[in-house]
């Protein structure tokens, strides 16, 4: 029987069957190394990965190792995982993947892996917290959007689709812009404007607009088509007294990551505050002026989230994963360019 590559119990050896099982957790982040046992670079970093695992265990980050060997199943699995070379490192949890890409000097590898993993853990916790916040938004359909309550106030609508990776996080961010400044709604798109029933972009979609004219599905009452929403997530601000067809896009282009969404939603806050001043007469009956925007949430609003999640509330912008590629000294060139083939 072949001896395991790592002898420490802090590093779990994973394979095609056990890797998905381990990383499907909503609570635990994994640092995964893809290695080739005879690759000299994998051998060179083995002790440093063990040191990193010892440090990460204190922070609740699990460490796993996946063997990329010449045997058919192992080689194919690593290729399916899009492993470009060995050793490679990746932070993984359910619906969360961040690759660790740079070549590194050996002495700094444990520290850099720990820093990378802890930043990834912060981003993972914020993702989960924002997804929980997203569930607090009011649902919006065509009927509600045409109602008096929607038209007479200042409203923010986050449009999303089921296959949009960052829509839930965008909705979670937007939830902080809620009352008394405005109301925040979530609208789910069955399909986007300018697409056919299968979601494929149509050639003649120039007539698709906020009123849905030119779209053969407008009569079905799909709010996203009626509003001319062409990407997700999309965030639109509806001034008091407006309604369908008069929303102001706060993004202007599609975004693929939540750190970009943070800046866009800061613009939403500023714009909404300006609208509040314009429509101050609408708030004359309130006993006190509406408070300034505040991103802090009390325990009751947070729904009993744990301390780690509450630490994320003050900053809408997700932390960027460290760019450790600024080091000048580097390991020898990775010879195992294609995982499992060397």
Residue 171 CB-density burial (10 A; 0-12 exposed, 13-18 middle, 19+ buried):
buried
**Does the pLDDT value for residue 20 go beyond 90?**
yes
| Segment 40-46 mean pLDDT | 91
- Of 95-99, 291-295, 315-319, the range with the highest mean pLDDT is 95-99
CA atoms within 13 A on the CB side of 76: 4
- The whole-number pLDDT of residue 271 equals 63
Q: Within a 10 A sphere around the Cβ of 111, how many other Cβ atoms? A: 15
Q: Is 44 exposed, middle or buried, given 0-12, 13-18 or 19+ CB atoms closer than 10 A?
A: middle
- pLDDT tens, position by position, 57-70: 999 999 999 999 87
pLDDT recorded at residue 105: 64
* Closest C-alpha to 51, from 108, 120, 135: 108
212: confidence class by pLDDT, cuts 50, 70, 90: very low
Whether the pLDDT of residue 116 is over 50: the answer is yes
pLDDT, residue 287, reads: 42
Residue 14 has pLDDT above 60, yes or no: yes
**pLDDT exceeding 90 applies to what percent of the chain?**
29
> For the chain, which domains are there?
11-105 (3.40.30.10), 133-310 (3.40.30.10)
Determine which of 32-46, 122-136, 204-218 has the lowest per-residue pLDDT on average: 204-218
* The pLDDT of residue 16 is above 60: yes
Q: Quick check: 336 pLDDT over 60?
A: no
Q: Does residue 319 have a pLDDT over 70?
A: no
Task: For the chain, give the number of residues.
Answer: 342
Check pLDDT > 50 for residue 136.
yes
What value does the mean pLDDT take over residues 104-112?
Answer: 81
Determine the pLDDT at residue 174: 84
The pLDDT tens digits of the residues spanning 249-290 come to 877 666 666 666 666 666 666 666 665 555 554 444 444 444
HEC readout, 76-117: HHHHHCCCCCECEEEEEECCEEEEECCCCCHHHHHHHHHHHH
Instruction: Provide the pLDDT for residue 251.
Output: 72
pLDDT over 80 (residue 216): no
pLDDT at 186 exceeding the cut of 70:
yes
SS (H, E, C) the chain: CCCCCCCCCCEEEECCCHHHHHCCCCCCCEEEEEECCCCHHHHHHHHHHHHHHHHHHCCCCEEEEEECCCCHHHHHHHHHCCCCCECEEEEEECCEEEEECCCCCHHHHHHHHHHHHHHHHHHHHHHHHHHHHHCCCEECCHHHHCCHHHHHCCEEEEEECCCCCCHHHHHHHHHHHCCCCCEEEEEECCCCCCECCCCCECCCCCCCCCCCCCCCCHHHCCHHHHCCCCCCCEEEEECCCCCCCCCEECCCCCCCCHHHHHHHHHHHHHHHHHHHHHCHHHHCCCCCCCCCCCCCCCHHHHCCCCHHHHCCCCCCCCCCCCCHHHCCCCCCCCCECECCEC
Tell me the average pLDDT across 86-109: 85
Q: What separation in angstroms does the CA of 320 have from each of 87, 260, 317, 331?
A: 23, 11, 9, 24
Strands 62-67 and 30-35, bridge-based pairing: parallel
Give the pLDDT mean for 6-29. Answer: 93
């Amino acid at each position: 029987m072949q001896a395991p590559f790592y002898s420490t119990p802090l590093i779990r050896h994973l394979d095609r069957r056990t890797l998905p099982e381990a990383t499907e957790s909503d609570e635990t982040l994994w640092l995964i190394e893809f290695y080739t046992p005879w690759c000299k670079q994998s051998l060179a970093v083995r002790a440093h990965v063990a040191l990193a695992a010892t440090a990460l265990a204190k922070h609740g980050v699990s460490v796993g190792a996946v063997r990329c060997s010449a045997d058919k199943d192992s080689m194919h699995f690593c290729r399916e995982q899009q492993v470009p070379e060995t050793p490679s490192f990746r932070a993984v949890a359910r619906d969360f993947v961040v690759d660790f890409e740079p070549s590194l000097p050996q002495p700094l590898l444990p520290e850099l892996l720990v820093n990378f993993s802890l930043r990834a853990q912060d981003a993972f916790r914020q993702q989960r917290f924002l997804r929980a916040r997203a569930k607090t938004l009011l649902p919006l359909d065509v009927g509600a959007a045409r109602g008096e309550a929607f038209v007479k106030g200042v409203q923010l609508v986050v449009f999303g689709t089921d296959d949009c990776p960052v829509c839930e996080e965008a909705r979670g961010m937007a939830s902080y812009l809620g009352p008394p400044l405005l109301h925040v709604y979530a609208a789910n798109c069955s399909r986007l404007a300018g697409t056919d029933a299968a979601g494929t972009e149509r050639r003649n979609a120039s007539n698709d607009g906020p009123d849905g004219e030119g779209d053969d599905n407008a009569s079905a009452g799909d709010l996203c088509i009626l509003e001319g929403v062409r990407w997700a997530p999309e965030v639109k601000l509806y001034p008091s007294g407006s309604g369908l067809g008069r929303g102001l896009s706060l993004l202007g282009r599609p975004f693929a990551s939540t750190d970009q969404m943070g800046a866009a939603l800061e613009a939403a806050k500023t714009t909404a505050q300006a609208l509040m001043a314009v429509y101050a007469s609408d708030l004359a009956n309130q006993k006190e002026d509406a408070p300034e925007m505040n991103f802090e949430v009390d325990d009751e609003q947070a729904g009993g989230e744990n301390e780690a999640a509450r630490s994320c509330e003050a900053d809408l912008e997700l932390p960027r994963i460290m760019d450790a590629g600024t080091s000048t000294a580097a390991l020898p060139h990775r010879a195992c360019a294609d995982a499992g083939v060397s």
